[in-house]
Structures are given as structure tokens and as C-alpha cells.
Amino acid sequence: MGGDEKEVVRMIGRFLMSMIALGAVALASDAGAEFAYRIAYAAAPTGNPLQIFTMNPDGLGKSQLTNAPFLHRDPSWSPDMQMIAFISSRSGDNDLFVMKANGSGVKNITDTPDLWEWEPAWSPNGREIAYYVRRALDLTGEIWIVDVETGRKRRITTAYVPGISWSPDGRRLAFLRLIGKSYDVFLIDLQTGREENLTGSPSNERSPCFTPDGERLLFISDKG
């Protein structure tokens, strides 16, 4: 980003940065296809680990998609709203899984015994998922990308806390890195590997997110 493209919008307490994933899914009716928003979220039923649910924005129509004695978290809708990516401990580690919007067809697409994974983020074309990785007992994290169809994985860069956003054209990732004692927002070009620190401030930034036109980044900051 350069010139006006470096303009960064600071936004405190935005709903889009929560752990709730919003998605539009087509619902069949007698009048034809209608669109309604569904929310994917993780909740812990009494006495049970976190499970994945979906519901309507009004809180009705709740549907539990996972029902196993393992941790399930970080649900993320695919761009076409047909799939949900999530993290589960059902394999013995925190691996990245995908399933259909109705909870069927669960598939482990990373299967990495020595790694813990967080916060999957779908690429705009729905073919890849970026996610945060940390090795056991190692505080240094990394960002990886996995091909949803083949399971082929590649390491992108280092990062210290979860928080990944794809640019709308799929060419760049925004992420967080610890610089000194504060977290800055970085941008990486996925073709060249070139990285740029967009904030470079003593304040702590969190949750970067591209605007739909790709011209700006929203993020949370503790700067007064």
C-alpha cells in the first residue's frame, strides 16, 4: 500500500472482529430462492466442550452442527456459504477441519500432530484457508495456507497472535506481529513475500480486516 492506500481506519469494538461469523445462505421456498443470514458460532452446552452452532440473526432456528466430546471452535464460513471451516481437538490435536453447512462431510484438512491451529480464514475464491499455527511449548507462531481440496500446506510467515485477513483480490494477507512490546499490523504480498509494517506504533493493534474494496484496513487499537 502506498499514498492514500496506506490510510488506515481505527475502529474500536467492531462487531465484525468478534468470534461470530456471518454468512448469507440461500433458503428454498415456494416463491423460489430467498437469502437469509446465518450466524456460525461456538458455544459450550452445559457440561460439554465447545460445539459449533448456526442460527438466524434473531436468535431463532438454532442448529447444532457438531456433537462430540471434543473442543470445536473458530467457525468460518466459506465465501459461497456452503462450507464451514473450524478447529477441533477430535484428532488429538487442534487441527483444521471443514464440513458442509449442515454439519455433514467433516474432513480434517491439516492433520498436523505437533501443531496447534487457530482462526481459519477462507481465501476469497474459497480454494485455500489461511490459519495461525503454533508448535507445542513454542510461543512463536506462524501463518500457513492450506489447499482445501488437496490438503497441500505452505508456511507464509511468522506471527505471534491470531488475526488474519485476506485482501479481496486474494493477493495479500494482513496479520499481526510483535515488535518490541507492542503488536503491529503487517501486510504480506503472497506472490513476492514482501512484508510491510502498516502501523509501527507503540500501541497494540488487533484484528485487522480489509474493507470490501481492498483500499483500507480496519483494526482495533488501544491508542488513546
pLDDT above 80 (res 145): yes
pLDDT above 90 (res 34): no
pLDDT above 90 (res 96): yes
Supply the pLDDT for residue 200. Answer: 87
d(CA 184, CA 204): 7
pLDDT digits (tens, 9 = 90+) for 112-131: 888 889 999 999 999 999 99
pLDDT above 60 (res 78): yes
DSSP result, 62-79: -EE---SSS-EEEEEE-T
| Assigned CATH topology for domain 3-221 | Neuraminidase (2.120.10)
pLDDT digits (tens, 9 = 90+) for 190-200: 999 999 999 98
d(CA 46, CA 154): 38
pLDDT above 60 (res 6): no
Supply the pLDDT for residue 139. Answer: 66
pLDDT above 80 (res 102): yes
Task: Give the pLDDT band (50/70/90) at residue 38.
Answer: confident
Average pLDDT for residues 45-74, to the nearest whole number? 90
Task: Give the pLDDT band (50/70/90) at residue 224.
Answer: low
Contact 53, 45 (CB under 8 A): no
pLDDT above 90 (res 77): yes
Beta bridge partners of 115: 135
d(CA 6, CA 217): 9
> C-alpha grid cell for residue 39?
450466524
pLDDT above 80 (res 214): yes
Supply the pLDDT for residue 14. Answer: 34
Q: What is the pTM of this model?
A: 0.82
Supply the pLDDT for residue 127. Answer: 98
